[in-house]
Structure 1
Amino acid sequence: MYRVLITDDLSTAGLKILQETPGVEVVNRSGKHTPEQVREFLQDVDGIIIRSATKLTPEILKDQLRLKVIVRAGVGVDNIDLPAATREGIVVMNTPAGNTTSTAEQAMALLLAMARNIGPAAASMKAGKWDRKSFTGTQLAGKTIAVVGLGRIGLTVARRCIAFEMKVLGYDPFLSEERARAEGIELYRDIDDLVGKCDFLTVHTPMTPETEGLINAARIAKMKKGVRLINGARGGIIDEKALFDAIQSGHVAGAALDVFVDEPPKDWGLAQLPQVLATPHLGASTDEAQELVAVEAAEIITGFLVRNEVRHAVNMAPITAAEMIDMQPYLDLGRRLGLFMSQFTKGGVRGVRLQFKGEAASKKTKLISNAFAAGLLSKALADNVNIVNADMLARERGIEIKEELSHEVGDFSTLISATIQTDDGESTAAGTIFGKQFLRLVRVDQFHLDAYLDGCLLLYKHIDKPGVIGFMGNICGKHEINIAHMALGRERNEPGGDAIAVLNLDNEPDDETLAEVSAHQAVTSVQLVKLPKAGEPLPWLVSR
């Protein structure tokens, strides 16, 4: 019998699913508890469903030998210490689908209310005023809206905007052209090409280092005068100070905000501007959303416990210690190849082909493929992309990952090769394992070489002629950059053809150094790739 603990209020629909699932016993202790009490409750249960009130800290999770799974009825997992859960071998899952419709509807409500001045008009009526002239708005039909981020919620918003006869432009680095076309969205890969073409802009990305301040002062300045902005995703994706200044100057006509950097705001200046419609993070605050996340949480935890299903995991699925010891270098190689390709390739990803040769073909290649996908997507998505959810996230963006297996041994006893089709063409990288732990990059496009697959990599393509390598050594010496290793790949075994060099550097070159390298007449391209240090553990490692 699997025991599931409930410590926060859960809708009756979710409780009913748990109670009616054979083999599951519900331990309902919803209410306020001390950390010591929660720790004690967890010692004899297999899983727990929480909302936002219960905090699962490292102290609570440490040595919980029976606990297998935590399910958050909602999207955010800020109240769960993910590294601690992972270290203890506990799978953490959330319910991203349950509040999609409610959050998208909130964005549409903000859009409509802002366009038609609903908030101030309603306040005027409550003040006993009949003032029609002050609240003239703008219609949505015929206008252009930019949707930044085309995941579940972004696509749902886009569909509703199309129903309102709006032209929809979209920005997403991973959604395929075919999927965007099928949805009726004009897709852009460069956000700077998008921002100047819209009357409205709404953001629906996760908060990551790459998306923080994504809509900044420079990009707002490129927008049309009179543009209106909506943020129902995460505070800080739109730079709040830049938005405040642009509204004050008259460049931005208005904004509708459901989220803020600080909640509640420490500085109420932006929220109190008359041109701003502000709500206190109500995106998922509907009866339906709360019931849906409860139902989804119950289905997820029973599926995991009873049928070994893993859905919407935000850390790593548990595998045995023996499997991990065997698979770790292959997972590491797959992830590093994905990280490499995410920085080396240009253009939107359309498809991926992974080839496993030799010993690699006899391993659990699906796990390796997921590790590759996690590396490929990690720069664009939230930090919780991992080998459990990476494949799903790729498929949602129209990226299909195909596997090809060959047990024949070629030049290497094991080889993993990744070929990515992008909007701009095709790129290939291949890696191998020397011994049991040394990872090597052995191919980049048509060039064969032997480079370390760790740390800071400087790649430059060039014409194979005397003096280029010496030039690079002088530049690095001039800027006090130490070259740890250098690998060279040549198109042919004689001078004059194309070549590529991969330098493993002990310290990262600055923009001035890269500019000097690019200025050499024989150098045709320069690319900096940042990978984990050698031996750095996988972020999803589980010890049980």
Structure 2
Amino acid sequence: RALACDMRVIGYDPLVGSAAVLDGAVRLVNDVDELLTASDCVTLHAKITENTKGMLNAERIGRMKRSAVVVNCARGELIDEAALAAALNEGRLAGAAVDVYSQEPPKGNPLLTAKNVVLSPHLGASTEEAQVAVSVEAADALLDYLVRGEIRSAVNVVGLPAQFNERDRAYLDLCMRMGSILSPWCAKGIERLQVTTRGEGIDQLCRTLARQCSVSLLTPHIGVRLNLVNAASITRERGIQVDAVAHAATRNYAETVTLVIETRDGRHEIEGTVFVDGRPRVLAIDGYRMEMAPERALVLIFNDDRPGVIGSVGQLFGDAGINIADMTLSRRDRTALMLLKLDQAPGDAVLKQLVALDAIQSVQSVLLVPLEKMDR
């Protein structure tokens, strides 16, 4: 709609690797701050995650033009509402249009009494145009299936196909866990992912495993509900290259799956397998060899390989009352990887203390489904 009004449109999406979208009509910038300083009208279209909550805060509002306006029809918690109200009342922003709120109904919300603001009661999809668009989209989706055999946004085929056996399901579960472990590194965008299978037993499953990895890698970062049906089209739309490579030959294990991702910050890799008991195992992360069942709260710690680090980490979790259920260590050159399985997820305060420890290079945490729940 903005393009139809001859507006120059720019955008920011950390998960799109190209320089432009919509056939070059919308130029993509490198970060949110660049977008805010250049825009006369800022519209938000993101889901709520740890990275997006409060993304438009007082500091970022201060970077915007005094003549700019803000439109939020996405999620209320994307904006620091008190900071937005203050900017409007003080004339540091020209106006705002808001359809969503951090708490609904917005009783006591500072935007209710702010100047130069248009408020609506979360009715963004209830226009005549929107209802027509939904009807047309439903008809198009039905025609895609009847005429071309394509399924889009299906709600009744998100599970596994009936022809998958228990071993196939176990490898899909493994890839879900492997993708979740690497997912925090995708927060600033992913350009490419490759799934490589080794072993004749899973070579025919390779492309499906690549889709499963796409789902678990991207789900925390985008506002679209991903599944095995729509994963390929979503990654294609976002310019993410997905490769599936199957090898019959194996190395140390009968069957293995390797997931490699290339992000704006670098390359990461994880390797796993399913043992004869049907349970998944992680065999390596970024070249650090190990063997651990991926489940529950996991913390990945890259640190300088020197004495005293393990003790400092153990003491920190002990002081926080968090029990370490399992631990595996791996060393390469002068760096070590410590993979911890905890009885409970550490809070942000504990993770900040962990990062602040001497010799700690980086920390990632992820919460996975317990394996016993998958057995039921």
**By the TM > 0.5 criterion, same fold?**
yes
Q: Cα distance 1:475–1:315, how it changes in 2: closer, same or farther (>3 A)?
A: farther
CA shift at 1:390, angstroms?
2.1
**Amino acid corresponding to residue 523 of structure 1 in structure 2:** I
CA shift at 1:211, angstroms?
4.2
2: distance between equivalents of 1:193 and 1:353?
31
CA shift at 1:399, angstroms?
0.5
What residue number does 2:288 align with?
447
Q: How does 1:249-328 map to 2 (within 5 A)?
A: 249-259=90-100, 270=111, 275-278=116-119, 281=123, 285-287=127-129, 290-301=131-142, 303-304=144-145, 309-314=150-155, 316-317=157-158, 319-321=160-162, 323=164, 325-328=166-169
What residue number does 1:504 align with?
341
CA shift at 1:160, angstroms?
5.0
1: distance between equivalents of 2:170 and 2:19?
35
Q: Cα distance 1:343–1:234, how it changes in 2: closer, same or farther (>3 A)?
A: closer
What residue number does 2:323 align with?
482
What residue number does 2:257 align with?
416
Q: Among the aligned pairs, what percent are the same residue?
A: 32
CA shift at 1:316, angstroms?
4.0
Name which of 6, 9, 30 aligns with 1:188: 30
Q: Cα distance 1:234–1:526, how it changes in 2: closer, same or farther (>3 A)?
A: closer
What residue number does 1:407 align with?
248
For the residue of structure 2 that corresponds to 1:177, the secondary structure is coil
1: distance between equivalents of 2:359 and 2:299?
16
Deviation per CA, 1:285-342, whole angstroms, max 9, x where unpaired? 345x544432431342355468653212256435554526343211111112221111
What residue number does 1:389 align with?
230
TM-score normalised per structure 2: 0.84
What residue number does 1:177 align with?
18
Q: Cα distance 1:342–1:319, how it changes in 2: closer, same or farther (>3 A)?
A: closer
Q: How does 1:522-541 map to 2 (within 5 A)?
A: 522-537=359-374
State the number of aligned residues: 374
2: distance between equivalents of 1:208 and 1:465?
35
Q: Cα distance 1:470–1:210, how it changes in 2: closer, same or farther (>3 A)?
A: closer
Conserved? CA contact 1:374–1:385, under 8 Å: yes
Deviation per CA, 1:416-451, whole angstroms, max 9, x where unpaired? 111111122211111211224322221111211113
Deviation per CA, 1:381-429, whole angstroms, max 9, x where unpaired? 2362222222222211110111111011211222111111112221111
**Amino acid corresponding to residue 94 of structure 2 in structure 1:** A
Does residue 350 of the first structure (1) align with residue 350 of the second (2)? Answer: no
Conserved? CA contact 2:125–2:131, under 8 Å: no
Deviation per CA, 1:469-519, whole angstroms, max 9, x where unpaired? 233223322322211111112226xxxx22211111112334454344434
What residue number does 2:272 align with?
431
1: distance between equivalents of 2:352 and 2:105?
44
For the residue of structure 1 that corresponds to 2:344, the secondary structure is coil
What residue number does 2:206 align with?
365
Conserved? CA contact 1:458–1:502, under 8 Å: yes
TM-score normalised per structure 1: 0.60
Q: Which runs of 5+ in 2 are unaligned?
A: none
**Amino acid corresponding to residue 245 of structure 1 in structure 2:** A
Q: Which runs of 5+ in 1 are unaligned?
A: 1-104, 109-158
Does residue 202 of the first structure (1) align with residue 39 of the second (2)? Answer: no
